[in-house]
Amino acid sequence: LSFRRAARYEPHVVWHWYNVTEMLVELGQYEEALPPAREAVRVNPSHVQAWAKLGQVLRYLKRYEEALIAYERAVALQPNFAWAHNGMGIIYEQMGRYEDALASYQLAAQHDQLDASHWYNQGNALALLGRMAEALPLLKRAVELKPDFSRAWARLGGALRNLGRYEEAVAALGTATTLDPANAWAWSELSKTLSALGRAAEAEEAQRRAAESKPDHAIYLTQHADALFNRGAVHEALALLDQALRLDPRSARAWARRGQVLRRLDRNLDALRSYERALELDPRYAWAWA
């Protein structure tokens, strides 16, 4: 309220509009944050932080092209502004432009080498590009700078798993889940790693923890159903798949897995319908054809 009052009485002061924007962003009110963010750059078109904040607001609103323009204005005014380069990287990543994201994250780290998120983001982009070996030193640097960075430990564990370094992966993923027991992705990666080591019971427990952590995410329910099916708990698996499909009726994977479960229960006509639905949603889903 005080920031809004200040902006009303001194509308020519850019920081008042910036502070109103920041307050609304912290409250998650992104639509409401857009007008004061635009007013800030109108009042002072040379204000670097205001352009970057406008980019952030537009990014939260998923207006990515406009957000990039705002961030580009910020880095044109101040080329070493790491926060703006990092924001651009996040947008590129969300657009699936991983090479561009990596380049932006590299600039962010170049200009601010002590921010763990810049190293994590580089490692994450490399992992998304399938370049796991290159990702490792960057992710290790992230957890060196910030030892309680659960997401970085999880991504490090995932990279190690993909490189077949399972015991190291278990250690990293165990750290991730200890730091953040609600990190569903880390639990899921831990489950895959334990399964690769032949530790089936522990793998199922980790997958259960993933599903419990994100009960509104169909993918984790589907993965938990896989673990139950492999153990022979077919009816429990079916219940989870039905729950997953209520959350995401367009999940080809869940429909295909449901077909597998129904076939095991000798409900062959229902199984066929589930497989057909999977292929309607994704005709290239080879597993359902098999």
Whichever domain contains 10, its CATH number is 1.25.40.10
Same domain, 199 and 223: no
Out of 180, 210, 240, pick the residue that ends a domain.
Answer: 210
pLDDT of residue 7: 54
Number of domains in the chain: 2
Out of 210, 228, 257, pick the residue that ends a domain.
Answer: 210
- What DSSP state is assigned to residue 220? H
What's the CA dihedral at 74, 79, 82, 84 to 10 degrees? 20
Chain length of the chain:
290
Same domain, 115 and 189: yes
Same domain, 261 and 205: no
pLDDT of residue 287: 60
**CA atoms of 198 and 229, how far apart (whole Å):** 16
Same domain, 168 and 233: no
Q: Which two tokens stand for residue 96?
A: 């699936």
* 3-class secondary-structure state, position 13: coil
Same domain, 201 and 117: yes
Same domain, 196 and 220: no
pLDDT of residue 218: 95
Cβ-contact 98, 128 below 8 angstroms:
yes
Q: What is the pLDDT of residues 223-235, one digit of tens each?
A: 999 999 988 999 9
Same domain, 108 and 197: yes
Domain containing residue 254: 215-290
* 3-class secondary-structure state, position 251: coil
Same domain, 69 and 152: yes
pLDDT of residue 2: 62
Cβ-contact 176, 151 below 8 angstroms:
yes
pLDDT of residue 16: 84
* 3-class secondary-structure state, position 70: helix
Q: What residue ranges of the chain have pLDDT lower than 50? A: none
